Structure 1
């Protein structure tokens, strides 16, 4: 819809479609490096792909292990099998394991 006063509306402003299938997946993710923005970048990527992040557990990197993230995600419809691939391809991720 175009409003002459506002101009064209962005597709990003549209609400998420209702979720009819309630699949929930849990991912264990090892993070590369110690960039504090890595967590934000992962969450933004999932949000842009219309996935709902339901729970997050984060452990910062220390001398003996990389940073670790556990995500509980409700994928968008049709994306159930691609979330692990999206996460694994991210520059801040070393390893992804689905529970």
Structure 2
């Protein structure tokens, strides 16, 4: 096989310039990465993720409005879930909290 260099030159795969370029790319991809594989100084940008459901689009819109994501233990609570939790507590009070706890327990049992 052959490779095309940035200057348009066509060279074989075993050319030293191709190997050097591949090694530079590998070093650049691994330098400064944290545990997640993301660069440590990278910020979270929801618009970079795939939007495959209306729920993720709603979460993105709510994030843009200013409703933050927050953590509860190891789980990330999305903005749409925060709004839903708030509505259930307002409408149902203590019964709503018990209902949410029951739904959580049932969902964990089904997994």
| TM-score, normalised by the number of residues in structure 2 | 0.24
The TM-score with structure 1 as length reference comes to: 0.25
Larger helix fraction of residues: 2
Structure having the higher Rg? 2
Which structure has more RCO (C-alpha within 8 Å, separation ≥ 6)? 1
